[in-house]
Amino acid sequence: MSEEFNNEEFNSGEVTNTGEDQPKGFAIASLVCGIISIPFCCVTWVSLVCGILGIVFSIVQKNKYGEHKLAKAGMICGIVGLVLAVLVWVLALLGIAALGTALGELS
């Protein structure tokens, strides 16, 4: 019933890297920029800038310090913000074209 307990594992002084102590400034910046790019998709220039910065900061985090969950979330939010901004821009152009066609038919 008694189990052998090896204290040498715990007293060896070795610390394993759990990933929590790695720098995550770029990951946080990526996430913040990515999140900002989504609600500002109607203001396309803000969404484009923040989305691109979110993607760039995510790539810098991955290349310099390794993968981080916040950086991955920032990358996803940045891509979603960019797609929404482009979609709003295309829909606005289509709306302007349709309005021009409708006004042309009226006159």
In a domain, 17, yes or no: no
In a domain, 5, yes or no: no
In a domain, 15, yes or no: no
Q: Which residues of 8-37 are buried (b: 16+ CB within 10 A; e: fewer)?
A: eeeeeeeeeeeeeeeebebbbbbbbbbbbb
Report the percentage of the chain scoring pLDDT > 70.
80
In a domain, 10, yes or no: no
Domain count for the chain: 1
Q: 11 or 75, which is more confident?
A: 75
Q: Output the pLDDT for position 15.
A: 47
Per-residue pLDDT at 16 exceeds 60 = no
Reported as a single tens digit per residue, the pLDDT across 56-82 is 999 999 999 988 999 999 999 999 999
Mean pLDDT of 70-97: 95
- 0.85 exceeded by the pTM? no
In a domain, 39, yes or no: yes
In a domain, 65, yes or no: yes
In a domain, 13, yes or no: no
In a domain, 4, yes or no: no
Termini Cα distance of the chain? 95
- Domain span including residue 58: 25-106
Q: Output the pLDDT for position 101.
A: 87
